[in-house]
A and B are shown apart, each in its own frame.
Chain A
Amino acid sequence: MSVQVDPELEVPVSVDTGSRAAPRKHRRLRAFVRNPTFVAGVMILAFFVFLAVFADLLCPGDPLDMVAPPVLWPGQDMAFPLGTDSLGRDVLSGLVHGSRASLVVGISAAAIGLAIGMLVGALAGFFGGRIDTALTRLIELFQTTPTFILVIVIVAIGEPNLETIAMAIGLASWPTVARLVRAQFRSLRESDFVMAARSLGYSRWRIILQEILPNALPPVIVAASVMTANAILIEAGLSFLNMRDPNIVSWGGMIGDGRDQLRTAWFLTALPGAAIALAVLSLNLVGDGLNEILNPRTEP
C-alpha cells in the first residue's frame, strides 16, 4: 500500500565516461603538482639529495680533517661560514657530507623494512588461517619490543657501519608496514576483481603480484616516506650515542661531538639538529601530500 518515491531516482550527473578516461594520467600528475604540501616537501628533499650527490664538489676534502682554528663561531671567518668545531673541522662541510649518511641509511632502512613488511603482511593477509595467526604473533612480538632498543642490540651484534645500521633499523621497523599490508590484503582478497581473477584460474602469485599488490600500494607509499623519516631520526639517535662509523661524518654524530661544548658553543649542536629536522620535515611533508593525493577525503 505504501508508495515509495525511489530514493535512488536522482541519478548523480554521470561521472567518468569514456571521454574523461584519456587525460586521467595527466589529471593524476596535476594533482601532485598542485598539492603545495607535496611540492614543498619534494623541493626540500631535492635540495638534500643535491647536497648528498655533489658533496665532494660543493665542499671538497674530508670533512673530518682539521682545517681551521677550533670553535670559530658562524660568520667569524667567512671561509668557514658556519664555523668550526672543537677539533677545527668545518661545520658546513660536515653538514653537507652528513646528508649522505642520513639519506643512505634512511632510504635503505625504509627499503629493507618495506620489503620484509610487505612480504609478511601479504602472506598473512592473503592466506589467512594458521599462516596469518603465526605471522600476526610474530608482528606482535616485534611490536612489543621497543624499536630503538632492538636497533641498538642489533647494531651491537654487528659492526657499527652504515650497512649494519640500515639493516638494524629495517629489521626493527617492518611490523608497521606488515600490519598495513595485511589489512589491505584481507579486504582486497574478497573484492570482485580478485574473485574474477580466481575464477579465471590465475595462479596465486599472479593474483598477489598483479591484482592485489597494485591496489594495496597507496597507503604503503605514504608509509614509506614516514618510515624513511623515522629511520633518519633513529640513525641520528644512534650516531648521537656514538654507535656509528667513526670514519663517516653524520649529523647525529656532530650533535654528539658538539654536546660537550653545549654551554659555550651551542651552534655546534643546533646546526646539525636543524639539518635533521629539515630533512625529516621534508619527508613528512611528502608523506602528508601523498596522503592527501592518494587517499582523498572530503574535509568540511
Chain B
Amino acid sequence: MSLLTVDKLSVAFPGHVAVREASFSIESGETLALVGESGCGKSVTAFSVMRLLPSNARIASGRILLEGTDLLSLSEPEMREVRGAKVSLIQQEPMTSLNPVLSIGLQITEVIRRHEKLSRRAARARAVELLDLVRIPDAHRRLDDHPHNLSGGMRQRVMIAMAVACRPRLLIADEPTTALDVTTQAQVLDLLDDLRRRLGMAVLLITHDLGVVAQWADRIAVMYAGRIVEQGGIEPFFARPLHPYSRGLLGARVDVDADEHYSKNRLSEIPGSVGSAAGQAGCSFAPRCPVAEPACRRAVPPLVALPDERAVACPVTVVLAGGPHGAALR
C-alpha cells in the first residue's frame, strides 16, 4: 500500500476549478516532485492533502488516503492530530512563514508539545537537537532568537526543523528553495534529502525548477491547468518526456535527439498561456500544442498507463509510443 494516494481529487474555487481529477501516489521514503507553472494547481493540491485550503475553496470530489485512511473523511480535531505529526509542511517564503514576533524556540517546541507529552524542558532540549540536526551552528543559543535575527537560509532550516520535529511520514515542501539564492538552495535541498533518508519519510516536493527535480526527486508528476498530464520515474522522464507539455518544459535541455518541433523551444516560447485553457472542452494544452489533433479539442484525454510505470494523458503520444502497454518506447 502506498503511503499517500490521491485519487481523482478536484478542488473548486468560486468561478474556477483549480485541480481536476488529479491522481498520484507516493511510496514510503521516496521523493515525488510535483511540477508545473505557477497557477497550475500544484500548491492547491498540496494544501488539500493537509486540508488547509483557503476558506473559499472546496474539495469537490476525490479521496486522499494516508496509510489507508481517507483524510477527507476525518473530523477537524482528528485532522489536527495528523497535521504536524504525520504530515507536515514547509512553505515557499521563509521570511513570512515564521511568526515574526515569537522566538524560534517557542515555534519549534509548540509543535513538539502539541503532539507529544513532553515537559517544557525536554521539549527545549529536543528543539536544540533539531536545530543541530538541520545544521544550525550554536543551536542552544539560537533558541531565544527571533526570525529577523536569521538569514533566509537559516530560517528555512528552522522551518525544516519544525516540520520534522515529530518525525512525520510525509513532508510537503512547497517550493522550499524558490526564495533562496542558488548556493543556499543546494544546501537546503541536500539537507532535506539527508533527513528524508535518516528519518525514513516521504517528500512531496513542489517546484517549477526541473534542475531541482533532476537532482533530488525519485519520481515526477507534471501538472498542467489543474490536471496531471504525465508521471513517471526521473530517468525515463528526462531521457524521453512524453507529453508535448513536458517536452516543452524540457525544451532547453533536450535539444539533440528530440523531434525538431521542440529543438529550440523553451517553454516560454510555447504560444499561449495557461489562462487560455479556461473553459474550453478537450485537452487544456491543445491550444498551445504543436501536435494537437482535432480529437484533442473534443474530449479530455485520460491518463493512460504505460510500461516503465509511466503514464501520460496524450493520445497522440500514446500512439507514437506504441499504444497502452505497448512495446517499449523507441
Contact = CB atoms under 8 A, between A and B. Distances in A.
Q: Per the CB under 8 Å rule, do A and B touch in the complex?
A: yes
Interface of A: 1-7, 9-13, 300
A10 B37 contact: yes
Nearest to A6: B268
Nearest to A14: B275
B208 interface: yes
A5 B37 contact: yes
B211 A10 contact: no
Contacts of A300: 54-56
A11 B54 CA distance: 22
B252 interface: yes
Interface string B215-256: 000000000000000000000000000000000011011000
Contacts of B210: 2-5
A3 B37 contact: no
Given A2-B211, A5-B36, 7 more contacts: A2-B209, A3-B209, A4-B210, A5-B249, A9-B268, A13-B278, A300-B54
Contact of B267 (A6, A11, A12, A13): A6
A11 to B, nearest CB: 5
B304 interface: no
Contact of B252 (A3, A9, A11): A3
Nearest to A12: B275
A3 B250 CA distance: 8
A9 B211 contact: no
A8 to B, nearest CB: 8
B39 A5 contact: no
A4 B253 CA distance: 11
Given A6-B268, A10-B275, A300-B55, A1 B37 contact: no
A279 to B, nearest CB: 37
A10 to B, nearest CB: 4
Nearest first, the 5 A-B pairs at minimum CB distance are A2-B211, A5-B208, A7-B38, A10-B39, A10-B274
Contacts of A3: 209-211, 249-250, 252-253
A7 to B, nearest CB: 4
Contacts of B208: 4-5, 7
Nearest to B268: A6
A9 B37 contact: yes
Interface in B188-229: 208-212
Contacts of B273: 9-11
11 contacts: A3-B253, A4-B209, A4-B210, A5-B249, A6-B37, A9-B37, A9-B267, A9-B273, A10-B273, A11-B275, A300-B55
B250 A9 contact: no
Contacts of B274: 9-10
A153 to B, nearest CB: 41
A213 B78 CA distance: 56
A13 B275 contact: yes
Interface in B272-318: 273-275, 278
A4 B209 CA distance: 5
